[in-house]
Amino acid sequence: MKETDTPGTCGEKPPLEQGLLALFRDRKGSVISGEELGSALKVSRTAVWKHVKNLLSQGYLIESVPSRGYRFLAAPDVLTSFELTSGLQTKRIGCHITSVRETESTNLLAFRLAEDSAQEGTVVIAEAQTAGKGRLGRHWESPPGVNLYCSVILRPPMSPVKAPQLTFLSAVAVARAIEEVTRLHPKIKWPNDILLHGQKVAGLLNEMSAETDTIHCVVLGIGVNINMLREQFPSDLSQPATSLFLEQGVSVNRVDFARALLTSLDVLYDDYLCDGFPAIREEWLSRSTVLGRRVRVSFGNRETEGVVTGVDNDGALLLVREDGVAERVLAGDVTIL
């Protein structure tokens, strides 16, 4: 795995600190003497102590055991590429991680990297967004240090008409990650909301750069409310919202969540490239809040109502209206009636 923390970023670590952390990780829980650490890193014991102090000031918990050495206890819950890549075993997703303290929108930054020929699987993660994007020019509230804001660059060898299928893939990946890290059971609301007890906990914004038959890149934008507090939500949300913390009453380690998400995206994307959309659609439908329900879909000043019978290969919602006419809806906001 490669990692970068671009300038003005979180956790840009000098090689010595990285080396120290790697040694601590290998022997987590045991005491390692300053002498052993120093000779492994080819520096003096005083230099080891100086770097341990630096790590302590960054929030790492390292115990000094008198006349024996140091014991690594825990890493801080910060989304640095260094923390995210340690222990991440994926084929494509996270092959390169850029983590920044703050950016306008991780999707924008990911597009810039993609134009600069970033590899498939490159991930951009920010601790905060100053202009987080929702769909149709809407805003995504992105306070620092509590949530996950990430964008993943894909370059699937397929026609652009299939790109909406990747929104379904990312919805299933988020749902699986939530189930892995918490005891909660999320539901998916077409097209891009993840709900807990009917309230929005995550949103997806997938964007693409393509020509007629070729995808240059797809950017999967994923925002998950992890430890966000009630008072951090704006009062004018279009639908009720929540966070994992608010639903389970216990905070969630964001690094663990991010690793679980990147891993589930990796597995699903690999399956998708081999076997196509059917299995993802099945899982999506089994987690859907709308299947079999009467809904209203609005798009601009157009509205339609009907009972949901499924989704098709283009990601369109299939409805049967009250007059028995079947409809295919490609975009819009759903209200369950």
Residues that bind ligand BT5 (CB under 6 A): 105-107, 129, 132-136, 138-141, 149-151, 192, 200, 203-205, 221-223, 225, 237-238, 241
- Min CB(149)–ligand BT5 separation in Å: 4
Please state the closest distance from residue 228 (CB atom) to ligand BT5, in A. Answer: 7
To ligand BT5, the closest distance from the beta carbon of 296 in angstroms equals: 16
- Nearer residue to ligand BT5 within complex by CB, 4 or 199: 199
List alpha helices for the chain, DSSP H.
15-26, 34-41, 45-57, 81-85, 106-115, 165-181, 244-248, 254-275, 278-286
Which C-beta is closer to ligand BT5: that of 136 or that of 336? 136
Measuring CA to CA, which residue among 149, 144, 104 is closest to residue 232?
144
52/124 with CB nearer ligand BT5: 124
What is the per-residue burial (b if ≥16 Cβ within 10 Å, else e) of 268-301?
Answer: bbeebeeeebeebbebbbebbbbbeeebebeeee
Cβ distance to ligand BT5 smaller for residue 85 or 192: 192
Residues 168, 162 contacting (CB under 8 angstroms): no
Minimum separation from the CB atom of position 69 to ligand BT5 (A):
41
Between residues 117 and 238, which has the closer beta carbon with respect to ligand BT5? Answer: 238
| Choice between 205 and 297, CB closer to ligand BT5 | 205
Q: How many Cα atoms sit within 13 Å of 262 on the Cβ side? A: 34
Three-state DSSP class for 51? helix
Q: Give kind and range of the element (H or E) at residue 203.
A: strand 199-210
Burial class (CB in 10 A: 0-12, 13-18, 19+), 266: buried
For the CB of residue 194, give the shortest distance to ligand BT5 in the complex, in Å. 9
d(CA 280, CA 265): 12
Gap between the Cα atoms of 145 and 126, Å rounded:
9
* Least spacing, CB of residue 230 vs ligand BT5, in Å: 12
Angle separating helix axes 254-275 and 278-286, nearest 10 degrees: 130
Dihedral of CA 194/198/201/203: which sign? positive
Q: How far is the CB of 158 from ligand BT5 (least distance, A)?
A: 22
Structure token pair of residue 78 = 């910060």
CB of 190 to ligand BT5, least distance (A): 11
Q: Are 169 and 233 in contact (CB under 8 A)?
A: no
Judged by CB, which is closer to ligand BT5: 39, or 232?
A: 232
